[in-house]
Chains A and B, each alone.
Chain A
Amino acid sequence: MPTVVDDATLLAILTRRAVPALVMAADAGDVLCTGSWYYRLHRALHDQASAGSLSVMAADLPSATRAALFTVLDDLPVQIVVPGPRLLVPVMGALRIRRRVNFLTAEALAAALISGATIRVTVDAPLLREACIELNIGFEVLTPFA
C-alpha cells in the first residue's frame, strides 16, 4: 500500500537511514510526499533568509558534506512521488471536513485520498489525525528509524 510521508520521514528515506521497509517502499515507487512537506524540508535546511538554527548548522558543515546534502535535497529520486497541484487542488477544494485545515494538511489528505495511501508522520498533528479518521485514511505517527 502506498504511504504519504512527512518531511522528516522523507529526509530519513533520502539518506537511506529509514527502516528498510520504508526504503524499499520508496524504491518501489510506493512513497509519496507533498509539495508542502518537501518545501518545508528544504526551508528547514537551506533557508538563508531566516537563518534558522538548522540552516546555520547545515551551512557550517564541511563544504563537501554540505554540497552532498543539498544534492540530496534538490534531486529527489524519480521513484518518490510528489503529486502536483493540477491533481491535488480539485480534491483539496472538495474536502468538507468538520474543522478547517491549512494548506499542508489539505494537500496531504488529498494525496492520500487519490492514491489510496496511508499517512505516516513523525509528529502527531491533531487536526490531521481527526481528518484522517473522518475520511477513513490510515494515519500513523512513527519515527522513521523504527
Chain B
Amino acid sequence: MAIEHVKQAELETAIERARVRAAKTGELRPGVRDTSVTTIPDAVADFVEQILTDGTYAREVERIGKEDPDLANI
C-alpha cells in the first residue's frame, strides 16, 4: 500500500512539473492562432472518408502494428 502511494505521488509530481513547463512554453496552448480555414479539395476529403469508413485504414493500422509493435493498438 505504501509503495502504491509513493508511485502515485511520483506520477502526480511528474504531471505537475509537466504542467508548469507547458504553462511556461505554451506547448499545450498554441499562442499563434491560424484563423484561416484551409480549403480541403473534395477529392481528398472523399478519399479520406472512404478509407476511414470501409475498413481500409483500420487494416493498414493493423498491418503497421504487426510490423512495429510500438505503433500497435493494444
Which positions in A face B, CB cutoff 8 Å?
Answer: 2, 7-8, 11-12, 14-17, 27, 29, 32, 36, 39-40, 43-44, 50, 52-54, 57-58, 61-62, 64-65, 68-69, 72, 77-79, 81, 83-84, 86-88, 90-91, 93-96, 101-105, 110, 113-115, 121-123, 125-128, 143-145
21 intermolecular pairs with C-beta atoms under 8 Å apart: A8-B61, A11-B52, A12-B48, A14-B40, A15-B48, A17-B45, A17-B48, A40-B64, A52-B60, A52-B64, A53-B59, A61-B47, A64-B41, A65-B43, A78-B30, A78-B33, A93-B14, A94-B13, A102-B72, A102-B74, A122-B58
**Would A15 and B45 count as touching, CB distance under 8 A?**
yes
Which positions in B face A, CB cutoff 8 Å?
Answer: 7-8, 10-11, 13-15, 17-19, 21-22, 27-30, 32-34, 37-38, 40-41, 43-45, 47-49, 51-53, 56-61, 63-64, 67, 69-74
Chain B residues, CB < 8 A from A144: 52
- Which of A17, A96, A127 touches B74 (beta carbons < 8 Å)? A127
CB distance from B25 to the nearest CB of A (A): 8
